[in-house]
Structure formats: structure tokens, C-alpha cells
Structure 1
Amino acid sequence: MTPDVAVVGGGWAGCAAALTLAEAGVPVTLYEAGRVLGGRARAVELGDRVLDNGQHILLGAYTNTLELIARVHPAPRTPPLWRLPLAFDQPPDFRLRCPRLPAPLHLAAGLLGARGLDWHEKLTAARWAAALIRGAATPPGTVSELTRGQPEKLRALLWHPLCISALNTPPETASAAVFASVIRAAFGGRNAHSDLLLPRSDLGELFPVPAARRIVDAGGVVRLACRVSGLSARADGITTLLGAGNQTHAHSHAIIAVAPQHVKGLAASISELGDAVAMLAHYDYQPIATGYVQYAPDFRLPKPFLALAEGPAQFAFDRGQSHAQPGLIAFVASAAADLPTDWLDRAEAQLRRSVRPGRPQWRKRIVEKQATYACRPGMARPAVRTRHPRVFLAGDYTAGPYPATLESATQSGVQSAASLLETL
């Protein structure tokens, strides 16, 4: 059968897989149930505003994602990402800034120069981080157990907020092994790997939308508002069932690139995916809440973003500085399973401890109830290859070193496409 691949799911993993196949000359159809691409990292329209369903930040270590973004923005007038050296400002209690020194010396220098710590705490943190980065062993247990020997102030101000933002899982239940992978990737390679990169556009225009244009230009098909309700698999091909199953379309292969909680529904009739479905049945999920608050257009944060102490939100981002939306602040609360109903009021109160934003003019809350899977110790994660030779998986939940991040998603998408190409 002539190759003709169905990619089911138009999130970042699906777009990465479809783009890789299309640029390799393989006919591909990208199916997306929604009206916009991006999945759990997409643009949303609220009145006359284009926002995001969640505020994202990338690490310089996310090389696969950065390469894909660069590929779909070949000659931008303005770089699509704003690169900032790592700085963690939580006024008035804490500030860490990493200078442009070779890694991991830049982290040691940042910790030794951190504001809000005494010298004992600084030395303890620097030694602990150096040992973690050098360590070859995979640490067992939870992040809370991993950081148990750290001063309580460091756990509260640095390591645990980093855990929540990176793994979207409370440190008491988050995987120490995955957290260590993130720290090693950010601080154990090149200095630039710890840089923080803020999108300058909405998440759709950052990658999924230009990727779709490239897919179509390469001869592929992108079908929006087209729900695949199921897949049937034979030894020689795959059939997609569309909508209520009244329409079908034959393909040679399929890449399932939906969120992990939706894999079972698509793969119910494919016995070879039973192992993967059984793994995913044990997953549970964590929400992320984003609150957008419009202040006077002349208000701006002293930095592009600030860390916030003592919850419920962990960060406030100034979209006036990054997205040319003056006075608009995005508050982010990760691992938000027990978020109080007045969380955005409390987040604004957190911000007022260090700045005076004035009276809000407009507010909107967006909660992704199943934003990511909870990243717990010892989780089994399926490979991109399945037992069926014509069906592959792509998503931030597949086997890899990182938690549910854009890097995990795009890396998985490229890997699934590469594995499929190897079979042709």
C-alpha cells in the first residue's frame, strides 16, 4: 500500500509528527477535533483579544522544540521567542540570577550571589545542586524526599516552586528522577540551556499554525473540526472512523497524537495497543489555571515575569513586555487541584506585596482541568512504537527524560515520525 499516514490529534506532538512526515515527502492527513491547532497549548479568542489557554515558558535545553520553531519561522522580523538568562525574582524575599559563565559554574555563581539566603544556605544549595548534576544514579522517591537535606527556605523559595512549574505536580508526590533530569538538562550542559524563553506571539502562531501551513505546502492535508472517533487496524492498513462512524478513510499507517486520557477510546479495537492502554489507565491528571488581569496600559512589571510567594499562583507574566498587550498580566497556578474559588483575588494580593498595579479593568480565568498527567515516581510510559507495525504513539506522556512539557511533545512527535519512516 502506498504510504498515506493519518496523524490523529493536532497538538504540538501531532503537528511535529505531521510536519516531519510531510517534509520527508510522505502523504499525511492531520486530523484535529477542535477548530484550532495546539491541543493543550493553543491560542484562544476572548472578545477582541487573542490569548493562550495557558501561559508557557520554555527552557534553552528544549532543543527539539526550538529547532522546530526556528524551522517554521525561517526569516522572522522579530524572533518568535524572547531569550532571557535565568533569573528567578520573588520580591522581596528572594532573587537568583545566573551570569554568563560556563555551565554549571553559572548556577553555582547564581546561588552564591542569591539575595535572601545566608552563606550557609548558599553553600548548601550550591553543593547539593553540583552533586545532583554530576550524579549518574537515578534518584528514587519524590522531590520532597530528594530535597529533604536542603534548608527549608531554599525548598520553599526555589526547589519546590521549580518542581511545581516544571512537573505540574506537588513536590510531595512528584518524581525525583524526572526533576533531576530537568535540572541536569538545564544546568549540566551549555550555559544557554538554562535560559528562559518567552513566546512573543500566541501559542498557535508560535508553532502549530505555521507548521500546518508547511504541511499543506508539502502536499499534506489538515482537517480541522474533524473528530476521529476510532481506528481499526489490519495487517496491511488503518481505517479512521470519523464523527459518529458514518465516514471512514483508509490509510497505510496512523500516529495517535491525542492526550493520554483519549488513547483508549481510539485504540479500543486494536489489541496490540493493550499494553499501552493499560499503562495509561493508571495515570491521573493535574490542572493548570491561568488568570488574565488587565490593568492600566502604562503598568508594567519590573521584570518580564515574577515568582510569587506562598501561593496560590506561582508566577505573574507581563504580556505587555512579551506580547505587546500593555498592562495585561497572566497569573499562573500549576498543580492546581485544590485551588480556592477566590484564587485570582489572592494572586493579585500576592503581586501587590511587591508592586502597585492599580485597579483591574478586566479579568478572565482559564482552567485546563487535565493539563498534564501527574508526574509520579516509577511511572510506566509507553514507547512511540506499538506492537502493531502500522500504529505509533506521540505525546508528552511517551517514554522520555522530561515531564509533560512542549519538549516532550515535540520530541515524541519527531520520534514517532522517524520510527514510522524506518518501516517504509
Structure 2
Amino acid sequence: MTAKVAVVGGGWAGCAAALTLAEAGVAVTLYEAGRTLGGRARAVGLDGETLDNGQHILLGAYRQTLELIERVQPAATPSPLWRLPLTLEQPPDFRLACPRLPAPLHLAAGLLGARGLRWGEKLAAARWVHALLGDRTPLAGSVSQLTRAQPESLNRLLWHPLCVSALNTPPERASAEVFRDVIHAAFGGRSADSDLLLPRRDLSAVFPEPAAARVEALGGTVHRATRVTAVDAAPAGVTLVTPRATATFSHAILAVAPQHLGALIARIPALEAASDAAAAFDYLPIATAYIRYDADFRLARPLLALADGPAQFVFDRGRSHGQAGLLAFVASAAATLPADWLDQAEGQLRRIVDPGPARWRRRIVEKQATYACVPAMTRPPVQTPHPRLFLAGDYTAGPYPATLESATSSGVQSAALLLEAL
């Protein structure tokens, strides 16, 4: 059979896989159950506003993701991403800003110059990071256990907020080893690896939509609003079932969210281990509150950390997206949000600045936004025991937690392995 590949799932992993295959000259068909590409990082429309289903930050260390974005939007003006040197600010208690120095000196300088820490706490943080960057032995236990010798103020202001934002998992449950890997990626290479990159467009427009357009320009097909309900795999090919048709392909990459994997591959005994691994995941919600104030209101920085409440960060989309007066409040690992969490999030902001009266408020809660990144969890590899089936997604085996980099890297890796098998 001539290579004819299906990619099931139009999130960042599926779009990365489809793009890689199409650019290699393979006939590819991309299936997406929704009308909008992007999966768990996509555009949504609310009351005439184009927003996102959740606010995302990229790191300068996300090289695969950044390379893909550059490929589908070369020399875009303005850039779809806004690059900022790492600055973490929680007014009025804490501010860490990393200068443009070689890594990891930039972090050491940032810690030693941090506002809100005593001199002994700064030295403790710098020594701890230095030891962590030099350690690549396997780590067991949680982030809370990893940081237990650090001063309480450091855990409260820096390490634990970083854990929640990077792993979307509370520190008492989060994997110490994965957190260490994130610290290595951000601070153990180039100084630019720790840069924060904020999207300047809706998340679908940053990569999935341009990638799909490139796939179609290369002769591929993109089916939106087309849910694949079942997959059958035989030695000679793979059959996909949708409500309207059945189609047969030489190979398939399954790039659906892990909670949907089991039902999709129920007819394929060879993928039972992958199904069991995904079924064992514990999922956590991420909540985003969009609140609009007067158009002339701006935060002092594009994003600020928030203390003592349900939200960990607030983003100024007026500064990043040109949506004047619109703020996005993000609550990660939001399993126990109170009913009045929007009011509480506003209260967190009002303790540091007066934005005036809210003109408009909406919330988006992704109940299964991500999986809990816990110690010793089993994540399936992208290559399955069936020679014609591959997996892609932020839940597959890799050094990062559930991030856009995990998604795109898995998509490219699955496509590369498929190409090797042709």
C-alpha cells in the first residue's frame, strides 16, 4: 500500500505530526472532532471576543515548538510571540528579574538581586539551584519533599508557584524529578532558555491554523468537526470510523487527549498497555477568568503573580493581544475552586492595584485540562507495539510535563518514526 497516513486529533501534537509528514511528501489526512484546531490550547469565541480556552506561557527552552512556529510563520510581523527576559513579580512582596548574563549566572544574579528576600534566603536559593543543576540522578518523591530544606518564604514566593505553573500540579503531589528537569531546561543551557514567551495572537492562530494551511497547500486534507469514533488495525492497514464514513490508511498517528484514547483503541489488543496507562491518569482542571476593565487600564507588567487566592497569575491581554482593558486570571490545579472564585481573583488584584469597576466577566473551566504530573507515573511511548500505529500528545513519554513543547515534540517524533518505517 502506498503511504497514506491519518492523524487523529488537531491539537498542537496532531498538527505538528501532520505538518512533518506533509513536508516529507506523505499524503496525510488530519481529523479534528471540533471546529477549531488547537485541542487544549485553542481559540474560543465569547460575546464577540476571540479569547483562548486557557492562558499559556512558553519558555525559551521550548525549541521544537518555537522552530515549528517559525516554519509556518517565517518572519511574521508582528511576531506571534512576545519574548521577555524572565521576570517574576508578585507586588508588593516579591520581584525576581534575570539580567542578560550567561546561564546560570543570570539566575544567580536574579536571585541575589531579588526583592522581598533576606540575604540568607537569597544565598540558600542560589546554592540549592546550583546543586540541582549539577544533579542528574533519578529523583523520587514530590516537589514539597525536594524543597523542604528551603526557607518557607522561598517556597511560598518562588519554587511552589513555579511548580504549579509548570506542572499544573500542587507541590505536595508533583513529581520532583520532572520539576528538576524543567529547572534544568530553563536554567541549565542558554540564558535565553528561561525567557518567557507570551502569545500575541489567539492560540489557534499561533501554530495550529497556519500548520493546517501548510498541510493543505502541500496536498493534504484537513477534516474539521469530524470525530473518529473507532480505529481498527490490521497487518495491512488502519481503518478509521467516523459518523459519516469509513476510511482506510497505511498508518495512523493517534493524537487525541489521553482521556479519549481508551475508547478509540478498544478494538486493538496491541495498544492495551497504552490504554491502561492513560486510564490511570488523574486529571486536573485549569480555570481562566476573563475580566474587562476600562480601556485605559494597564498592568505594570504583561503578567503578575498573585498571592493568597485561587488565581496564581494575571495577564494583561491589552498589552499582548491589543484587547484593551482585558485581563486573564489563571488558576491552575483548580480542583477545589469556590463558587465565588471570580470575586476572589478580583480581590487578589485589588490588593495591589485599583483597576476600577469590572465591565465584563466570563470564565472558562477546562475540567480535564491536564493530568497530574505525579512521581513515578507511567507515560506511554509514541511508538506502539503495532507497526502501523503511533501516539502523539503531551502525555506521552518525555522530559517535560503537559506543555506545548511536550505536545509538539511528540508529534514530530511520532512522524519521524513513521517515516522511518515506510
TM-score by structure 1 length?
0.99
Q: Following superposition, which runs of at least 4 residues in structure 1 exceed 6 angstroms of deviation?
A: none
2:89 equivalent in structure 1 = 89
1:334 Cα deviation after fit: 0.2
| Corresponding residue for residue 261 of structure 2 | 263
Q: Residue 400 of structure 1: which of 398, 401, 416 is its match?
A: 398
Aligned counterpart, 2:159: 159
Partner of 2:322: 324
Q: Name the structure 1 match of 2:175.
A: 175
The correspondence for 1:380, drawn from 362, 378, 383, is 378
Distance 2:75 2:82 in 1: 15
Identity %: 69
Counterpart residue number, 2:336: 338
Figure out how many residues of one structure are paired with residues of the other and give that number. Answer: 422
Counterpart residue number, 1:287: 285
Structure 2: distance between partners of 1:139 and 1:34: 39
What does residue 146 of structure 1 align with? 146
Gaps of 5+ in 1: none
Q: What is the rounded CA distance, in whole Å, between the counterparts of 1:290 and 1:53 in structure 2?
A: 8
Give the Cα separation in 1 of the matches to 2:307 and 2:346.
12
SS of residue paired to 2:65: helix
- Residue 394 of structure 1 aligns to which amino acid in structure 2? A
**Aligned pair 1:17/2:17, yes or no?**
yes
Following superposition, the deviation at residue 280 of structure 1 comes to 1.4
Which blocks of at least 5 consecutive residues in structure 2 are unaligned?
none
1:49-198 matches, within 5 Å, as: 49-198=49-198
Q: Deviations over 1:391-418 (max 9, x none)?
A: 0000000000000000000000000000
In structure 2, C-alpha distance between the alignment counterparts of 1:297 and 1:273, rounded to whole Å: 52
- CA distance in 2 between partners of 1:294 and 1:136 (Å): 45
Kindly provide the CA deviation profile for residues 112-161 of structure 1, in whole angstroms up to 9, marking residues without a partner as x.
11000000100000000111111121221000000000000110110000
Q: Which amino acid aligns with 2:328?
A: A
**In the TM superposition, what is the alpha-carbon distance from 1:256 to its structure 2 partner?**
0.4
* SS of equivalent to 2:328: strand
CA-to-aligned-CA distance 1:70-128 (integer Å, 9 cap, x gap): 11111312111000000000000100000001000111110011000000100000000
State the Cα distance separating 1:361 from its structure 2 match: 0.1
Distance 2:363 2:47 in 1: 14
Structure-2 separation of matches of 1:271 and 1:162: 40
Residue 247 of structure 1 deviates from its aligned partner by: 2.1
- In the alignment, the residues of structure 2 paired with residue 75 and residue 117 of structure 1 have an alpha-carbon distance, to the nearest angstrom, of 41
Q: Please state how far the C-alpha of 1:354 moved relative to its aligned partner.
A: 1.1
**C-alpha distance in structure 1 between counterparts of 2:125 and 2:132, whole Å:** 11
2:40 pairs with 1:40: yes
Deviation of residue 353 (structure 1)? 1.2
Q: Give 1:312's aligned residue.
A: 310
What is the alpha-carbon distance in structure 2 between the residues aligned to residue 25 and residue 136 of structure 1?
A: 39
Q: Residue type of the partner of 1:112?
A: L
AA at the equivalent of 1:22: A
- Trace 1:238-253 onto structure 2 (pairs within 5 A): 238-243=238-243, 247-253=245-251
Q: TM-score, normalised by structure 2?
A: 0.99
Amino acid in the other structure paired with 1:87: T
Moved more, 135-144 or 187-196: 135-144
Residue identity opposite 1:56 in structure 2: H
Q: Distance in 2 between matches of 1:304 and 1:75?
A: 23
Secondary structure in structure 2 of the residue aligned to 1:228: coil
Shift of 1:189: 0.2
What is the correspondence of 1:350-369 to structure 2 with a 5 Å cutoff?
A: 350-369=348-367
SS in 2 for 1:145: helix
Distance in 1 of aligned mates of 2:219 and 2:26: 9
